[in-house]
């Protein structure tokens, strides 16, 4: 199971595959800033829930997933 699915607490996709509209840029960059500033896995889980509610375009979702995965790995290493 990938990091994104673990943060969600389940496997599978987060967003409706039919989503075609682009996300508001200010929201996207606010989410990226939150991901980068997250100090715990719990904070990342909260951010994942917010991303679920916003239902970003598939390309934006994948970019956010990659960023979340990198941040989770960093936080996991720091906890060891």
Structural domain count of the chain:
1
Please indicate, yes or no, if residue 5 is contained in any of the structural domains. no
Which domain does 25 fall in, by range? 21-79
Please indicate, yes or no, if residue 38 is contained in any of the structural domains. yes
Please indicate, yes or no, if residue 13 is contained in any of the structural domains. no
Please indicate, yes or no, if residue 66 is contained in any of the structural domains. yes
Query: What tens digit of pLDDT does each residue of 25-75 get?
Result: 899 999 999 999 999 999 999 999 999 999 898 999 999 999 999 999 999
Alpha carbon dihedral 21, 46, 36, 7, in 10-degree steps, equals: -90
Phi first, then psi, for residue 8 (nearest 5°) are -75, -30
Confidence of residue 5 (pLDDT cuts 50, 70, 90): low
15 contacts 61 by C-beta, under 8 angstroms: yes
């Amino acid at each position: 199971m990938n990091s994104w699915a673990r943060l969600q607490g389940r496997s599978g996709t987060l967003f409706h595959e039919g989503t075609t509209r682009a996300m508001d840029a200010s929201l996207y960059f606010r989410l990226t800033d939150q991901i980068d500033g997250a100090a715990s896995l719990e904070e990342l889980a909260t951010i994942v829930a917010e991303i679920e509610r916003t239902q970003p375009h598939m390309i934006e979702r994948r970019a956010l997933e990659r960023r979340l995965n990198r941040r989770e790995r960093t936080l996991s290493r720091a906890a060891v």
